[in-house]
Structure 1
Amino acid sequence: MADKDAGTFDGLEVGKISGKFFVPRYQRGYRWTEIEVTRLLEDIRGSEGSTYYLQPIVVKPLGDNRWELIDGQQRLTTLALIVRYFKAYVPMAEVKYTIEYETRPLSAEFLLEPTKEKAGENIDFFHMFTAWQAIGAWLDRQDDASTSAFEIYSALSRRVKVIWYEAPETTDSIELFTRLNVGRIPLTDAELVKALLLSLSREVDGTDRALSVAAEWDAIERDLRNPELWAFLTARSDDEATHISLLLDTIADQLSDRLRARDGKDTGERKPLRGRDRSSFHTFETLRRAIVQPGVFACLLCDHDVKAGQGAAHLWDHVVDLHSLLTGWFEEREPFHKIGYLTACGLPFGSVLGLAVGATRRQFVESLDKTIASGRRVGLNLTLSALRDLAYGEDDAKIRRALLLMNVEAVRKLTNSTERFSFHTYAARSWSLEHIHAQNSEGLNTVEQWTEWLRQHRDALSGMPNLEAKEVEDLSDRIDETLAALTLEKFQELETELRAIYSSPDVDVTPEEHALSNLALLEKNDNSTLNNWVFEAKRQLVLGLDRKGSYIPICTRNVFLKYYTERRAQQLHFWGPQDRQAYMTAIERELTQYLLPETKVADAS
């Protein structure tokens, strides 16, 4: 049954931990070094009066206040050493528990009085005594050892807590220990919230809901593991331990914000969800309060009355509702593309959700449009004239946002099509601003770069309509001969000749190479010569990648297919003034609804 597997847990002050702990032989011995011990002491002191959570202590009851210590023996041993060392400065200091290692029967006795003489008896004693010395060294570095010892002991007694997780007696200890320690993955907020929900989801209105909550939990987690859904919400493609944590974190942050507002501590500032300086187990502890304190959750988030004992069910209803909301956005074409664009530009999911609170669908879409146009840090914040003036090397972040939005909008506006912009692909790869046609070899400084440039442009010669077969053959032979003994002088001579061949006959002698009309989004290539290629060489590269099934953004593909240029003005193998103008017109057309009036000063952030 789900409720039997859930276990019980709570936040427990270190000073209240008591009993006899037994560390089985399947665990390694004590191995903390001076680094971990010092970091623990510094972290406790740095918590500055607030509640500070350590990692979980996972135990299984053996009866008579005896516990099998499944996870947390390094922390529990170190805490015992700290309190015992501090007793010389704080007479009241007391450790209410003992720890015994199955493989070291005398460990409990050694922990009572660590000595240098006994430290050499076995490896565990050696590390325990090293930690003991590290505690003394830390105290010696303080201005007032007595005061520092008292402050740390008081913190351990009153506000430093562990997540006390009591596994059911039927738990397979070795299996649980392995799961927690493979890759050193501790219990997560999501696991702790799930266990609490399952343990309290019994007998709601006379019905055991634990099994249905577990099934719904798995279904939501499965939905959120859809790569496109996950990237649309988070702009991330990496695989995390749990994806439902996004919903739990969001609800916890909403509750924290409203608690601060209620208590008069709201400064009006909001940090991105994933960038919050969230303390360990912030989400679990916040949601635990909502569950076990009747009325807190209801009063602050939905104004519904929650009867005692129904906090878990009420919280779960909010999780289910949030899941339904975001999957609805994912299925609907317009919100999907606009939200996906904003998250790709760095807008946290919690901020997107904030735009939807209390809004109709139309109002929500209007808020998305406004954020795309002028949102701080994520919006275009451009007038038409500012868009036209963007320059590579000076406005790269704005150019990247503009070209990304052009591609997203081009896909969104496709009629009678199921094609959607792949935010998963965008998140999974690195993208660069590429010159559609490069006018010079700036940045090519090594023989390897010259060699690659000549090879690529040699291979593209066969597609040039202004060359006879014999000319292609002769020029290719000369390139091959030069590659055998390449120098800067020889490279520059051939480069000048090749650029003349690949340049449009009506190109201005001083084209705006770094203008937006000569830039496109391409997947970043480790080959540093790529941005110096001419149009025809890049066109063949893009077509080759497209044939292989690579993801080419729709507008980048259109550029190299001359989609935007009128047929009568097309020169397939060159990138000329007509092409630039047609491309720029297309950019302006896709972005026009998001451009600011010329009279409005754009936010440069």
Structure 2
Amino acid sequence: MNLAKADIKLETKLVGSVEGKFYIPSYQRGYRWEKDQVYRLLDDIYTNGAKSYCLQPVVVRKHNDRYELIDGQQRLTTLYILLKYIQKEYKPRIRLNYSLNYETRTDSEAFLDSIDEMIAETNIDFFYIYSAYGTIDDWFIGQKDDVIAADKIYEYLAERVKIIWYEVGESDDAIALFTRLNIGKIPLTSAELIKAMFLSRDNNSEIDREKQEEISLQWDNIERELHNNSLWYFLTNHSNAKYQTRIDLILDLISTKSADNKEKYFTFFYFDDLNQKENLNEIWKEIQHTFLILKDWYEDHELYHKIGYLISSNTKSLQDIFALSKRNINGRGITKNQFKSELDAYIKKSIDIHTNYSELSYEKSTDYARISKLLLLFNVESVRQNGEQTQWFPFEKFKFQKTGKISWSLEHIHAQQSEGMQKQEDWKEWLRLHIPSIVSLAEENDKLVEEMKIACDRQRLERLEFEDIQQKVIQKLSAQGNTEYMHSIANLALLNMSDNAALNNSTFDVKRNAIIEMDKKGQFIPFCTKMVFLKYYTPSAGNQLHFWGQQDRIAYIKAINSTLKNYLSEDISIEKRHE
């Protein structure tokens, strides 16, 4: 918002207290609400009962003794028709406190007053107005007791149903604002309304013009800093699609808005209520302070990784962690060391499975989720411990890339099965991927290489022929004793190889080459996954780059145990335990 044009008034009003003359300018179309929209409004108001209910903002500009209705025509017209219906059918003594007229459709005001069926078909506006009136009639007829329903609806409109009254100054471009709100379908957000609360002319007694300008600049600075994806995806797993402005995250945090709360303007109403009790300066200080707390966590190497893991793994929400930071212990605020200890307890609990990880299997859905969470923590903690505060786990790359959200999956480090490979193209691709690995082993495998090439060139490759060749290849590229550990944590890593069935089912050497190529292209590969395929954990003596065998599995599990020793209730067994 341009501060020079911030001559606005912002407040909440009960529908029963809306009064005055409203005119709809020529740049707007007429009334067009359909039956389902009218029904939904009535149902929402009635089922909400005695609780407060908020309608979308009404945006107006005052001209002498009347208001130009910039946004909210459809809602105010429907409410007017509803009140007119209640007056005519149930409560003839009630008064309607506002009127509507149209700059270029002058007969519409008279029709709203009469709602005459005889002329309803003569004008498109009349048709929709009369249709809405009929829909309201149908709704009341459908109630168990229409008289009681009318009493309650009227009571709710007078005492519970609110609108957000957003009054702009004369210097604001009404047509541009209407276009943004209607043609562009970009509604006013809670953040915009809260910002307007600070800039409203009604608040000049609390905040002078200079302070308003300062707040406006600081507000924009916070929004700009939150557009740093490294900070943003440390704090949340949601893309910007959920937040039209990123400062909404801070405001929702202060208002304690829960993730499942669907009330669009919950946060605005929280701050509006707070404004009745506290000075606006104090409210602004709380917004600033909250942002600085989050930024402090982001800049603290240890807190960044611990909090980042808890949020990324969906163990705790930002709301949970923020509440923890404000907790009192023995009458005092929690210290930084106590805060870190509590986070450690959360992390330890997040991977506590009451059994040994060596017993878990990729094939069980519950085990799959447990192993995934453990390996995420292994990656995050490895970066934290390895970097001596120079390396930071890139949560933004882990969660999102240019094409959207990344779906990480557990991948077999060395695969020996053909899961998901039903097509000839997949079989041939699998063979093509493995030819370089077989070639690199020894000249004695030339016959197998030739067999693979012939199979790839066949117009139709039979499944039995493929599986026969595949077993020969796997035998050449597999270390002994791998079968038993196929689905165990010792043979699993976090990876994103999309839907490439041939690659997902490949042996270690092929996957290793693929990951090296991905790394060369700058694709993000989780730290520990990269270390696995570079044989970082395996002692150099007798290390064979083409295979993933017993020595590699032992070294891998040993690294996990060492890195996560403060969080595991017991070391992961190197070998599977047998009853």
> Which residues in structure 2 correspond to 1:209-288 (within 5 Å)?
209-239=211-241, 240-253=243-256, 273-277=257-261, 279-288=263-272
Contact 2:452-2:469 at 8 Å conserved across structures: no
Question: Is the CA contact 1:236–1:424 (under 8 Å) kept in the aligned structure 2?
Answer: no
Which of these residues, 421, 425, 430, is aligned with residue 444 of structure 1?
421
Which position in structure 2 is the counterpart of 1:475? 451
Question: Which residue of structure 2 aligns with residue 269 of structure 1?
Answer: none
Question: Could you tell me which residue of structure 2 aligns to residue 172 of structure 1?
Answer: 173
What is the alpha-carbon distance in structure 2 between the residues aligned to residue 410 and residue 31 of structure 1?
Answer: 59
Give the C-alpha shift of residue 208 in structure 1. 3.4
Q: How far is the alpha carbon of 1:215 from its aligned partner?
A: 1.0
C-alpha contact (below 8 Å) 2:255/2:271 kept by paired residues: yes
Give the Cα separation in 1 of the matches to 2:384 and 2:545: 27
Specify the alignment match of 2:368 in structure 1: 396
CA-CA distance at 1:554 after TM superposition:
0.6
Does the CA-based 8 Å contact 1:439-1:513 persist in structure 2? yes
SS at match of 2:231: helix
Task: Assess if the C-alpha contact under 8 Å between 1:201 and 1:313 holds in 2.
Answer: no
> Which residue of 2 is the match for residue 413 of structure 1?
385
Q: Aligned Cα RMSD in Å?
A: 2.2
Tell me which amino acid in the other structure corresponds to 1:249. D
Count of aligned pairs: 553
CA distance in 1, matches of 2:373, 2:175: 51
Report 1:292-331 matches (<5 A): 292-294=276-278, 311-331=279-299
CA distance in 1 between partners of 2:209 and 2:71 (Å): 34
Offset of 1:588 from its aligned partner? 1.4
- Distance of 1:552 and 1:489 partners within structure 2: 35
SS at match of 2:483: coil
Q: Taking structure 1 as reference, are residues 344 and 488 closer, same or farther at Cα in structure 2, changes over 3 Å only?
A: same
549-558 or 180-189, which deviates more: 180-189
SS at match of 1:486: coil
Helix, strand or coil at the partner of 1:98: strand
Deviations 1:83-133 (A, max 9, x none): 112220233444222222233221111112223432222322222222222
1:353 — aligned with what? 322
1:198 maps to 199
Check conservation: 1:425, 1:551, Cα contact below 8 A.
yes
Unaligned 5+ segments in structure 2 are 327-332, 401-405, 572-579
Q: Which residue of 1 aligns with 2:577?
A: none
Whole-Å Cα distance in 1 between the matches of residues 508 and 441 of structure 2?
14
Task: State the SS of the aligned residue for 2:57.
Answer: strand
1:235-288 per-residue CA deviation (whole Å, 9 max, x = no partner) reads 2333532111111111122xxxxxxxxxxxxxxxxxxx5514253322111112
Q: What is the TM-score normalised by the length of structure 1?
A: 0.87
Unaligned runs of 5+ in 1: 254-272, 295-310, 599-605
Whether the 8 Å CA contact 1:3–1:210 is kept in 2: the answer is: no
Q: Is the 8 A contact 1:84 1:94 kept in 2?
A: no
**1:558 has 2:496 as partner:** no
| Cα distance in structure 2, aligned partners of 1:172 and 1:147 | 45
The 1:496–1:82 alpha-carbon spacing in structure 2 relative to 1, beyond 3 Å, is same
Alignment of 1:534-545 (within 5 A): 534-545=507-518
Q: Which amino acid aligns with 1:286?
A: Y
Q: Is residue 2:15 matched to residue 1:24? A: no
TM-score between both structures, scaled by the size of structure 2 = 0.90
CA separation in 2, counterparts of 1:497 and 1:80?
A: 80
Alpha-carbon distance between aligned partners in 1 of 2:22 and 2:436, rounded to the nearest angstrom: 73
Q: CA deviation at 1:417?
A: 5.8
Q: Distance in 1 between matches of 2:123 and 2:205?
A: 52
Deviations 1:401-459 (A, max 9, x none): 10111000111112456321111112211111111111211332333433433333345
Aligned counterparts of 2:208 and 2:138: Cα–Cα separation in 1: 59
1:152 matched to 2:166? The reply is no
The DSSP-based 3-state class of the residue aligned with 2:485 is: coil
Contact 2:455 2:461 in 1 (8 A): no
1:371 — aligned with what?
Answer: 346
CA distance in 2: counterparts of 1:205 and 1:246, whole angstroms: 24
Q: Alignment partner of 1:594: what SS?
A: coil
Aligned to 2:356: 386
Change (3 A) 1:33 1:595: same
8 Å CA contact 1:6, 1:196 repeated in 2: no
The answer on whether the counterparts of 1:406 and 1:587 sit within 8 Å (CA) in structure 2 is yes
Corresponding residue of 2:575: none
Call closer, same or farther: CA 1:334–1:406 in 2, change over 3 Å.
Answer: same
Cα distance between partner residues in 2 of 1:591 and 1:205: 52
1:182 Cα deviation from its structure 2 partner: 4.4
Contact 2:10/2:166 (<8 A) preserved: yes
Secondary structure (helix, strand or coil) at the match of 1:592 reads: coil
Contact 1:201–1:210 (CA<8 Å) still a contact in 2?
A: no
Contact 2:84 2:96 in 1 (8 A): yes
Report the CA distance between 1:345 and its aligned residue. 1.6
- Of stretches 452-461 and 20-29 in structure 1, the one that deviates more from structure 2 is 452-461
Q: Which amino acid aligns with 1:380?
A: I
C-alpha contact (below 8 Å) 2:356/2:570 kept by paired residues: no
Match of 1:465 among 431, 435, 441: 441
C-alpha offsets along residues 338-380 of structure 1, whole Å, 9 cap, x if unaligned?
Answer: 1111111222212111222222111111111111111xxxx11
Name the amino acid aligned to 1:72.
Answer: G
Say if 1:356 and 1:285 are closer, same or farther in 2 by CA, change over 3 A: same
How far 1:4 sits from its partner (Å)? Answer: 5.6
Residues 76/548 of structure 1: CA separation in 2 closer, same or farther (3 Å cut)? same
Match of 1:298 in 2: none
Contact 1:3 1:198 (8 Å CA) reproduced? no
Structure 2 counterparts to residues 498-513 of structure 1, below 5 A: 498-504=473-479, 507-508=480-481, 510-513=483-486
SS at match of 1:573: coil
Q: Tell me if structure 2 keeps the 8 A contact 1:235–1:424.
A: no
